[in-house]
Amino acid sequence: MAHIVVLGAGTGGMPAAYELREILGDGHDITVINERDYFQFVPSNPWLAVGWRKRADITFDIDRYLSRKNIKFIAGRCSRLDPDNSTLELENGQTINYDYLMVTTGPKLFFDEVPGAGPHGGHTHSVCTVDHAELLWADYQKLLDKGSGHIVVGAMPFASCFGPAYEFAFIVDSDLRKRKIRHKFKMTYVSSEPYIGHLGLAGVGDSRGMLEHELRNHHIDWIVNARTTRVEAGKLFVDELAEDKQVKKQHEIAFDLAMMLPAFKGVDAVAGVEGLCNPRGFVIVDELHRSPRWKNIYSAGVCIAIPPVDATPVPTGAPKTGYMIESMVTSAVHNIADELAGKEPHTTGTWNTICLADFGDTGAAFVALPQLPPRNVAWFKKGKWVHMAKIAFEKYFIRKMKKGSSEPFYEKSILKMMGITRI
Ligand SMILES: Cc1cc2nc3c(=O)[nH]c(=O)nc-3n(C[C@H](O)[C@H](O)[C@H](O)COP(=O)(O)OP(=O)(O)OC[C@H]3O[C@@H](n4cnc5c(N)ncnc54)[C@H](O)[C@@H]3O)c2cc1C
């Protein structure tokens, strides 16, 4: 009997645990370790930040649901990984042995990249966690009470996840319109992307044309190639770069509320292992999602190393989106199962991407097959149906994670008909 440990119970780790149990049956032990005892549905955080959701709507107790599938859960932060001895240490001093480790630790939110940034001791907000979204909601309410101001939304240098920045800008715009006070607020989108709609993906379909059009239509100004250098209370300092990386213009942007997505790095426990990660702490994996150096370590999700899609004047990274992460997970799980069955692992993920971006009352959907160009399919479509679909997806994913099923047969069949598969 082998012991498989899944480190991190987020969008990647939860499905990984369920898929492992499904494919392996009850013949092996599975343990999930997560620093918090609750699961959070990260894509709903922008809604929580404007009061459209409460914490209880988008979080649930992990142990209650994993235990139903005979999966052990430990709530605790891993402080050290020792791959040579196949052990990991928790902050409380507990040592856990594993035969196989699946690293799904997501990102370290690296606010320190820009002095003065971040919600803890800095001057910018984030929607990356439920806690951050709640802090933003508190300050957004204060701004609503004030009745007017300048709202800055965007992404810092080295950011890789731009979708939620666009979402938050349009959601705030929509919320202010619903309150009939949009005309009292100035809004500016400030991003390290080289152009609007780049998304860390060198664009998808006509994402550039469509998102520029949307920002104009919603009276949101923008600055791209923006290297935010520091933040002071109520002021963002930005170098706008030209193609040749020279500073084209310097901006001092006074704001009342700023939500700036940070750079991502690998989390300390994983990044600290020499030979496991790239210089920014992301786990190096081969096409099987396995560490080339430690063959019993697999990894999936935001924590893996993938190169940027293109070189941009201000550094940006490639996003890892939900379906792409599930594709990585399914690939890694099949390979662990093969190894346990004494077979050669051979399953690779498609990294296909389907994404629903909510704009408050409408939205944009994109499909990129595969996520990284050159692509076989790339389309980007806008419509009210996307807003409805995103709400439905939220309910669907949370239900899936409570029921313990990663890819129900109907999901698999429908997506297969559309030519979208995980592996
Ligand atoms: C605000 C936001 C909105 C997004 N919206 C979408 C969307 O609409 N569609 C889409 O496709 N993608 C979206 N994404 C991108 C992506 O799908 C999410 O970031 C997703 O949550 C990443 O999954 P993950 O499993 O890699 O990491 P996470 O979901 O962040 O999970 C990592 C888990 O590991 C835990 N952990 C970390 N370190 C340790 C440690 N040392 N010990 C123990 N536990 C640890 C964390 O607490 C966390 O629970 C969004 C991202 C953000 C930030």
**% of the chain surpassing 70 pLDDT:** 98
Confidence of residue 227 (pLDDT cuts 50, 70, 90): very high
Residue identifier of the C-alpha nearest atom 37 of ligand 1? 105
Mean pLDDT of 33-58: 98
Instruction: Look at residue 317 and tell me if it is in a domain.
Output: yes
Q: What is the pLDDT of residue 374?
A: 81
Domain end among 221, 237, 263: 263
CA torsion angle 287 289 292 296 (round to 10): -140
Residues 319, 232 share a domain: no
pTM > 0.85: yes
Please check the confidence at residue 409 and state whether its pLDDT lies above 80.
Answer: no
CA of 247 to the centre of ligand 1 (A): 33
Q: How far is it, in rounded angstroms, from Cα 293 to Cα 102?
A: 14
Buried b (16+ CB within 10 A) or exposed e, 38-51: bbbbbbbbbbbbbe
Atom of ligand 1 nearest to the CA of 358: 8
Confidence of residue 141 (pLDDT cuts 50, 70, 90): very high
Instruction: Look at residue 418 and tell me if it is in a domain.
Output: no
Residue 193 belongs to domain spanning? 110-263
Please check the confidence at residue 371 and state whether its pLDDT lies above 90.
Answer: no
Nearest to 106 by CA among 285, 300, 244: 300
Residues 274, 245 share a domain: no
Residues 145, 215 share a domain: yes
Atom of ligand 1 nearest to the CA of 353: 11
Instruction: Look at residue 291 and tell me if it is in a domain.
Output: yes
Please check the confidence at residue 373 and state whether its pLDDT lies above 80.
Answer: no
CA of 384 to the centre of ligand 1 (A): 26
CA of 268 to the centre of ligand 1 (A): 15
Please check the confidence at residue 279 and state whether its pLDDT lies above 70.
Answer: yes
Mean pLDDT of 269-287: 96
Residue 161 bears catalytic tag: yes
Q: Which helix (H) or strand (E) holds 110?
A: strand 108-110
Q: What is the pLDDT of residue 417?
A: 67
Residues 53, 35 share a domain: yes
Domain end among 306, 323, 347: 347
Nearest to 103 by CA among 382, 373, 299: 299
Residues 204, 313 share a domain: no
Atom of ligand 1 nearest to the CA of 126: 1
Q: How far is it, in rounded angstroms, from Cα 146 to Cα 399?
A: 39
CA of 37 to the centre of ligand 1 (A): 15
Beta bridge pairs of residue 201? none
Mean pLDDT of 107-113: 97
Mean pLDDT of 392-405: 93
Residues 131, 91 share a domain: no
Nearest to 136 by CA among 23, 257, 16: 257
Q: Which has the higher per-residue pLDDT, 352 or 109?
A: 109
Residues 271, 159 share a domain: no
Residues 134, 89 share a domain: no
Among the listed residues 78, 161, 277, 303, the single catalytic one is 161
Ligand 1 site-directed mutation target among 80, 161, 355, most atoms within 8 Å of CB: 161
Two tokens, residue 119: 């919600």
Residues 152, 292 share a domain: no
Instruction: Residue 213: give its domain's CATH number.
Output: 3.50.50.60
Residues 40, 89 share a domain: yes
Q: How far is it, in rounded angstroms, from Cα 288 to Cα 47?
A: 35
Confidence of residue 4 (pLDDT cuts 50, 70, 90): very high
Confidence of residue 168 (pLDDT cuts 50, 70, 90): very high
Instruction: Look at residue 423 and tell me if it is in a domain.
Output: no
Instruction: Look at residue 290 and tell me if it is in a domain.
Output: yes
Please check the confidence at residue 235 and state whether its pLDDT lies above 70.
Answer: yes
The predicted-structure confidence for 48-82, as pLDDT tens digits, reads as follows 999 999 999 999 999 999 999 999 999 999 999 99
CA of 128 to the centre of ligand 1 (A): 8
Two tokens, residue 54: 């409460």
Q: Which residue has the tokens 């020279």?
A: 246
Residues 219, 176 share a domain: yes
Residues 114, 104 share a domain: no
Nearest to 103 by CA among 264, 278, 285: 285
CA of 11 to the centre of ligand 1 (A): 6
Two tokens, residue 189: 């989108």
Ligand 1 site-directed mutation target among 33, 61, 105, most atoms within 8 Å of CB: 105
Averaged confidence pLDDT in the chain:
95
| DSSP code at position 189 | E
Domain end among 209, 231, 263: 263
Mean pLDDT of 374-390: 88
Q: Which residue has the tokens 């999700």?
A: 301
Mean pLDDT of 31-55: 98
Instruction: Look at residue 408 and tell me if it is in a domain.
Output: no
Please check the confidence at residue 423 and state whether its pLDDT lies above 80.
Answer: no
Instruction: Residue 23: give its domain's CATH number.
Output: 3.50.50.100
Please check the confidence at residue 314 and state whether its pLDDT lies above 70.
Answer: yes
Atom of ligand 1 nearest to the CA of 322: 11
Burial of 315 (0-12, 13-18, 19+ CB in 10 A): middle
Instruction: Look at residue 277 and tell me if it is in a domain.
Output: yes
Pocket of ligand 1 (CB under 6 A): 7-13, 33-36, 42-43, 45, 77-78, 104-106, 127-128, 161, 163-164, 267, 269, 301-303, 321-322, 325, 355
Instruction: Look at residue 181 and tell me if it is in a domain.
Output: yes
- What's the domain count of the chain? 2
Q: What is the pLDDT of residue 69?
A: 97
